[in-house]
Amino acid sequence: MLIDLTGKTALVTGSTQGIGFAIAAGLARAGARVAVNGRRQESVAAAITKLEEETDREGAFVPAPGDIATDEGAHQVGTAVPDADILVNNLGVFGAVPALEISDAEWRRYFEVNVLTAVRMIRAYLPGMKDRSWGRILNVASDSAVVIPAEMIHYGMSKTALLAVTRGFAKEAAGTGVTVNSLIAGPTHTGGVEDFVYELVDANLPWDEAQREFMAAHRPQSLLQRLIEPEEIANMAVYLSSPFASATTGGAVRVDGGYVDSILP
């Protein structure tokens, strides 16, 4: 399948590393002009340099620094990228905290960062997509939205809410040529996840052994029985951002390695 996104502008939030970085690279390889977002200008510039090297697409990336968890940061990003054909809401935070020790402030922070940033970005870019009768909005959710992890129920809550946000905005975009979907990512190998794994297993274990122990003890439902690589998530994100996915909207599409034990998406 040849996906051609030439002429399209994409904004990927939280794209200086991990899954967001991989999605930015995948969209650029398909021909899109990609706005790279992170809180600091320095991290965005470093990510763009690396992306240009990895994709061999010099000039395809636009800096869009700004903390979109704040109104000021969201405005800063909107100034850098006034219009987008593709919006990927990837920004998120996670971490292991015993359920009874999660403070009110942490509950609010997870909702602000993992849910309201997506709402804020959709409000900014959906009207223009509707006016142009074409657009793709993708919210990066998680298996934790469906299988709430005991060690971070505040994270699971936020990703469940994101599924509801997706379905609701898909209805807002009904009949306009704009699709809105969630991508349910399974346990994925990123730098942040490596740190998370070592919070739950012996920190002295070599990585391959630590990964195996983590999957066996904390994610035994996985049919892959390994962490997913960010590029595997990006492959689905690029497809959902393409014209080929024109009949997929309001959905929660799984790239979870079979982690969610369900025969329905």
Residues identified as active-site: 155
Using DSSP's 3-state secondary structure scheme, residue 225 falls into coil
Nearest CA among 222, 226, 122, 229 for reference residue 182: 122
Alpha carbon distance 249, 179 (integer Å): 5
Distance between start and end Cα atoms, the chain: 22
- Residue 105 burial (CB < 10 Å; 0-12/13-18/19+)? exposed
Alpha carbon distance 65, 45 (integer Å): 9
Angle at 197 between CA 192 and CA 199, to 5 degrees: 100
Using DSSP's 3-state secondary structure scheme, residue 36 falls into strand
